[in-house]
Chains A and B, each alone.
Chain A
């Protein structure tokens, strides 16, 4: 089945130790998004790619970076994780269908910072 895959599902890293989260999709969608969701809060968009064009949200900290080497893969790099970066990280994809874009979410990676 076509889907959005995130690896790993659970990641533990140490304070200040760089970490990379991975997202892949078999949907061949143009757009890939990264969201951060903290406990009991709504997801917060960090950035998105439309094909190779990177779009950063204004309030996304510089500590968060992203790479999209090809259509299928997108990575979230946290250069120096702090305790406040512990959260669920959600990847989503979409592609235009007329004027509408339905987003398909991955299962998420839960990041713990020790």
Chain B
């Protein structure tokens, strides 16, 4: 069983729809990261959060530490949001920050 589970694995939406991607994890963490990767491209860090909620433009990320669950929301979705969204977690301890990645959610937003 993966330590980081995402759902759904694939998501197709119409432009303008509100989108939610979920992430559950099974271990104690120091932070949870939401990352974006366009097809064939590199990774962009969207959010790093350890509690509560963060908002950046049309993107909102929330985390519930007690329930070990996080959600990424996209409001007013647009075709340029089409990408793989990856949830990853990191841990306290040591001098560095290893990430454990989820399997990703492939989002396609259709015009």
Contacts from A to B (Cβ < 8 Å): 6, 31, 42-43, 45, 48, 50, 55, 88, 90, 92, 94, 96, 99-108, 110
Contact = CB atoms under 8 A, between A and B. Distances in A.
Does more than half of chain B's interface fall in helix, strand or loop, or is it mixed?
loop
17 contacts: A31-B95, A31-B96, A31-B97, A43-B43, A50-B96, A92-B43, A94-B96, A96-B95, A100-B97, A102-B31, A102-B33, A103-B33, A103-B99, A105-B42, A105-B44, A106-B42, A107-B41
Nearest to A92: B43
A100 B96 contact: no
Does more than half of chain A's interface fall in helix, strand or loop, or is it mixed?
strand
Contacts of B86: 42
A88 to B, nearest CB: 8
Interface string B76-111: 000000000010001010011111011110000000
Contacts of B31: 100-102
Interface of B: 30-31, 33, 35, 40-45, 48, 50, 86, 90, 92, 95-99, 101-104
Contacts, number: 61
